[in-house]
Structure 1
Amino acid sequence: MENPSGKAARPLRVALDARYVQEHFPGIGRYVYHLAEALAALPEGPHLTLFYNLSQTTPRYDLPALAARFPRKITLKETSARPFSLAEQYRFFFPALRGHYGAWHAPYYLRPYLLPRPTVLTVHDVINARLPGAMPSRKTRLAFAVTTRLALLTSKKIITVSQAAARDIEQLYGVNPAKIRVIPHGVSPSFRPLDPAEQAAARSRLNLPKRYLLYVGINKPHKNLARLLEAFKLYRDQSGDTIRLILAGKEDARYAGDLREKARQLGIMEQVEFRGEIAESDLPGLYACATLFVFPSLYEGFGLPVLEAMASGAPVICADNSSLPEVAGEAALYFPAENVAAISTAIGEGLGQSEELRQKGLARARLFSWQQAAEKTLAVYKELSSKK
């Protein structure tokens, strides 16, 4: 990159708050890591400074190794200020000032609010406003409302991951649409179909049943897993099919017991496998060997597991709400999330159309990439930097 004088222009400097690359934020951590990786891979990408907390990391995403791969594009800066802490409100002001950043990218609404650099905020969803029952107390709901509005108000640009989420932000918070940029997630190349030998190895390594329905995600109430258990039992009872159900993903201890008790009450505990959190290296195999992927969520800002399942060659059925039809397009079968009988029927139809759904899903997944997400995000950074 050169300026009019013929000298090489200095790359745009961007601070990306990577403190969320940790176990407490599995989805946001994945977003930050893959976005940083894709931005660093762009030929004319920015120079990224990743602020991270060494005491709160995850083996899933190795930030020092990422910085070592892109030594001219990524600098790591350690901080002791943790998310949710008072310290984060004052410890980043002077580092931001000294860093001469064209933009500060906050991937979460709980963030430093008073910064001397223009801020880009990524809003992944507004579930706590759309489904207030997702938060346990009135006090918590009030805190969420105040901090979300403060984050939106103090950000120059807002990135969100779907048109559905953008509409929610506009309608629920009165944000000017001109301030919002919709940039969908990408999908990692590690999610791909496996050949027969690779499938056999994955089945052996993960001890997978021959046929199984799969759900991947957290176990919070809005994921609608209680109805999925009911629909699974109804499908098995009506069809006589002996297919199993695997529930995989990080478990919130507050709800883990409830779902197991539900399975016991339904008499399907022996047919349901609660796998809990899955290693990043094992996820592609789990998806690729699935007979059918089922995603019954009541609300999503994006729905990345749907895209990962499609990219892995798993046929997909999912709820017909929020962002899910936008992500899956015509490559999935849909059902109303609150209708157990409809979910059961969709399971049967999905199994009957599995090869067609598989091919459509593979084609759909190819429309999403982290490179595209990085290019569009870089354009937002440049827009902000030019207005300083």
Structure 2
Amino acid sequence: MHIAINGWFYDQESTGSGQYLRHLIKHLPVAAEELELSLILPNHVRAPKELPSRVKPIKTGSRNRASKWGKVYFEQRSFPRIARDIGADIAHVPYWGTPLACPIKLITTVLDVIPLLYPVYNQGLLTGLYTSLVSSAARGSGHIITISETAKVDIEEQLQIPENQIAVTYLAPAERFHPQFGAENDEAVRAKYDLPENFVLYLGGFDWRKQVNELMLAYTYVGEADGDTFPLVIAGREPEYDGRLFPDLREYSRRLNIDDYVQWIGFVDEADKPALYRLADVFVFPSLYEGFGLMALEAMASGTPVVTSDAIVFEEILEDAAFIVNNAREMAGAILALLIQQPLRDTMINQGLALASNYSWRKTAQETLAVYEKVMRGS
């Protein structure tokens, strides 16, 4: 069986789509020895030097520039054409960028349908047209893969795709997220980002859906109780704040008078994330909606207790291994409890480690292979 995989996001390791693609490329050849994989790359993406022996990188022509139009051309024309020309049995688009027409069997992974659930993410003529294009195109896929039962329900409702055409394959923390492996580098990471001895961590995006403002509001309580000992470290590349999709969080921090308890460290290299989780006393993930919420599992796998919002997907994925709260006051109480009560902290750490161990990319690859086989059978 020969699979052609769209490699647009291969060099974007810090994105969910990029991480998903890289882990599939690494683990699919292990799942099936007879599987042949072709990684179709746009011209601007450098061909990887290290790939499994049965993964062949193929570059496209110069039309596929790193632009919005270049991306659409690659998705709609270059990728399906090359997949056909190399004799692939299935074309797999590992993100929501489905071609309207594909001359071979087609599978699309849809991580989430956030632009359809929250209109603030679907603003502007071009964005709206693109969302309409890939929404229509996704219905023509032989099968849809998604990453949680929560996302599956949303895809059924928003894209009108039958339940039996959608498969759920959970994500997993990479092996490097571990309470001990690599810990000899932790102090170097602490020095690199000038991290305090103890801290509560947020790592992620800053758009409206992430609800970092709720965490800041919670820190009006935490800071008053113990902010000098446990400051809030906020990690991630900050956007240009626009007041709607990206609320001005620095201004909000000033208004709440919590600047003395907040440290902004900016973009974090992928290689440093395991150490960052391990160094944190608590990881907080207050997002309103996620397709999966992988960072919470990464923190658990690193031995750090987790507090999240009550988004439905966290109840599905994290079960009782996280402190799940529904407002800023409860969030503050959960953070303080994990900082102060050592028996509770130990229990949550152990439950998190046990839960995280249930998820693996090997299993994800095996379940993805099962979808390939189902589509090949035409069932």
TM-score of the aligned structures, taking structure 2 as reference length: 0.89
Asked if 1:165 is matched to 2:154, the reply is no
Say if 1:295 and 1:317, in contact at 8 Å, map to a contact too: yes
Aligned to 1:50: 39
Say if 1:39 and 1:45, in contact at 8 Å, map to a contact too: no
Asked if 1:102 is matched to 2:89, the reply is yes
Asked if 1:367 is matched to 2:358, the reply is yes
Give 1:263's aligned amino acid: S
Give 1:41's aligned amino acid: V
Alignment of structure 1 residues 257-276 onto 2, 5 Å: 258-276=248-266
Distance 2:226 2:197 in 1: 18
From 17, 26, 35, the equivalent of 1:37 is 26
From 301, 323, 328, the equivalent of 1:340 is 328
Gaps of 5+ in 1: 1-11, 58-62
From 71, 77, 93, the equivalent of 2:58 is 77
Distance 2:247 2:377 in 1: 52
Q: How many angstroms does 1:41 deviate by? A: 2.7
Say if 1:109 and 1:151, in contact at 8 Å, map to a contact too: no
Q: How many angstroms does 1:201 deviate by? A: 4.3
Distance 1:17 1:252 in 2: 27
Aligned to 2:116: 129
Distance 1:245 1:113 in 2: 46
Aligned to 1:377: 368
Q: How many angstroms does 1:156 deviate by? A: 0.8
Say if 2:223 and 2:261, in contact at 8 Å, map to a contact too: no
Say if 1:128 and 1:134, in contact at 8 Å, map to a contact too: yes
Q: How many angstroms does 1:328 deviate by? A: 0.9
Q: How many angstroms does 1:264 deviate by? A: 2.0
Distance 1:343 1:276 in 2: 23
Query: Which digits, 9 at most, give the CA deviation of each residue in 1:78-132, with x for residues without a partner?
Result: 1242574252222234322222212111122234321111111111111222222
User: Could you say what secondary structure the match of 1:49 adopts?
Assistant: strand
Distance 1:240 1:272 in 2: 9
Deviates most, 262-271 or 248-257 = 248-257
Q: In 2 relative to 1, CA 123–240 (structure 1 residues): closer, same or farther, beyond 3 Å? A: closer
TM-score of the aligned structures, taking structure 1 as reference length: 0.87
From 143, 149, 152, the equivalent of 2:129 is 143
Distance 2:363 2:228 in 1: 41
From 153, 162, 171, the equivalent of 2:139 is 153
Q: How many angstroms does 1:269 deviate by? A: 2.3
Distance 2:105 2:170 in 1: 22
Aligned to 1:22: 11
Q: How many angstroms does 1:32 deviate by? A: 0.3
Deviates most, 109-118 or 305-314 = 109-118
User: Could you say what secondary structure the match of 2:362 adopts?
Assistant: helix
Distance 1:204 1:310 in 2: 23
Q: How many angstroms does 1:192 deviate by? A: 0.4
Say if 2:106 and 2:141, in contact at 8 Å, map to a contact too: yes
Deviates most, 317-326 or 342-351 = 342-351
User: Could you say what secondary structure the match of 1:92 adopts?
Assistant: helix
Distance 1:207 1:230 in 2: 24
Distance 1:43 1:110 in 2: 26
Aligned to 1:65: 49
Cα RMSD between the aligned structures?
A: 2.3
Give 1:106's aligned amino acid: V
User: Could you say what secondary structure the match of 2:50 adopts?
Assistant: helix
Query: Which digits, 9 at most, give the CA deviation of each residue in 1:217-255, with x for residues without a partner?
Result: 111110001111111122222456631111112333346
Distance 1:309 1:204 in 2: 20
Identical columns (%): 31
Deviates most, 145-154 or 165-174 = 145-154
